[in-house]
Structure 1
């Protein structure tokens, strides 16, 4: 009887924790969706369940009065190039550290580990000056360059751990058959590393879509804004009170993220678990 009561208490505790997590995660999301469907623009007059459902804010975002589509395009450009570039750069760097012995290899890995402890924002002044010197300040290409450079330390460790789980016998067998280094990389390593590369692609696609601080420092022209910076102006400008439009724009940000996640979901779990198994 005591054991049965203990099991019930454990199950009750688990469900209680899940309920709290559900409220913490989904309550703000439900409020955002509800606010985006409210009429008017005030935050305080909005309700989680609108009395009169309205799509006027979504329609306004796609009208000629709004720059929302331009900001969306800019975000997609930055996210797509960052994700693709990260997969290419990270896989090459991780392959070198996983498969080759060279002077400075061990110290290089320690440097990558150390760099993970410092956020990119700590070097923002230096990066700002650097972009200004090379004429890439207030450009999407400059923003992409910073994202690509900042992701290498963490992702290289992640992908290297996955590459280390791939048997070296496969490399040796391919070289016996006459395959070179690049052939081994493209024909053996990359196909087997699809799960971890999917993780890298998803994480690096999401980051520019949600990031506000870095684009707000690098970009100054409204036509170059990404979504986070553009949407912030809905509620930041003097006399601005466009919280419902802000909510509608925020809801639409999730569309490409959800599409990429659904496309890559079969790789994500195995990629995350295997990538951290060896270092």
Structure 2
């Protein structure tokens, strides 16, 4: 009894067939594809050119931006050196890193807990709490700046990096709670019921089952909540007073706010270094953003 083997597909033949299908596509589809690629190219240039220009300006000699270009002819690293030798950029950087990291961790933990509670647990005052959170997230943070300042003044939290992180966590908590609640609502409730039948407590269900399925949304919250205080200027300017407590945003602004102090190229160098942690964080966590919750539930 002979066995027949399936014919092996020829890669070259598949490539020829694909090219033939592209050439035989309707004229309208080819024109639409050409316009789509042209649009993507224009958007890419619009997005990439300012980044190239600011990086080139950071390596350009002098202090002004008039002669800066994306590819400077006489590149120099003197602006990066002066950041750490002539200013307190290192201290500003560590202050911003501390506030951003604390805000990221606190926001992820609290939003995950609050989202799970409002999604899975039915308790008295739940609807009123959701309505209150919905109303709170409609108001920008700077509208409550005076109230926050007086509150911090009474509790002795002014000029505190930890206090600044607490404000950032509280300001973003309503939105993040709604975000996590909506995401948790889409997770099958049968997972909780099956684990409860096996004797798992509610905390075990949350930590071992629901939390891993929240990973894509937790990653999104982590990235956004790290970025928000990292770039914030209004709250640090309001709550921080000592020079040693300044963040990067305050320090860089001081370089260019005076008309007689136009260190714009040094400012560009500081902005380039400022983008490094956000880029690294996104590269490390981006693979979790594409993880589907439903697919994860089926695999589990």
TM-score (norm 2): 0.85
> Which protein shows a greater Rg?
2
Q: 2:46 maps to what in 1?
A: 24
1:90-112 Cα offsets, whole Å, 9 max, x none, are 11111110111112212322222
Cα offset, 1:213, TM superposition: 1.7
1:125-161 Cα offsets, whole Å, 9 max, x none, are 1111111111111110111111010111111111112
1:138 aligns with 2:159: yes
User: Structure 1 residue aligned with 2:115, among 94, 97, 106?
Assistant: 94
User: Structure 1 residue aligned with 2:64, among 18, 34, 42?
Assistant: 42
- Paired positions, count: 271
Gaps of 5+ in 2: 1-24, 296-300
1:171 aligns with 2:192: yes
1:12 aligns with 2:14: no
Q: 2:240 maps to what in 1?
A: 219
Q: 1:83 maps to what in 2?
A: 104
Out of 246-255 and 39-48, give the one that drifted further.
39-48
Gaps of 5+ in 1: 275-279
TM-score (norm 1): 0.91
Q: 1:185 maps to what in 2?
A: 206
SS in 1 for 2:265: helix
Out of 19-28 and 122-131, give the one that drifted further.
19-28
Task: Report the Cα distance in structure 1 between the residues aligned to 2:253 and 2:294, rounded to whole angstroms.
Answer: 36
Cα offset, 1:53, TM superposition: 0.6
Where in structure 1 do 4 or more consecutive aligned residues deviate above 6 Å? 271-274
Task: Report the Cα distance in structure 2 between the residues aligned to 1:35 and 1:92, rounded to whole angstroms.
Answer: 45
Task: Report the Cα distance in structure 2 between the residues aligned to 1:127 and 1:12, rounded to whole angstroms.
Answer: 53
Cα offset, 1:191, TM superposition: 1.7
Q: CA RMSD for the aligned pairs?
A: 1.9
1:59 aligns with 2:81: yes
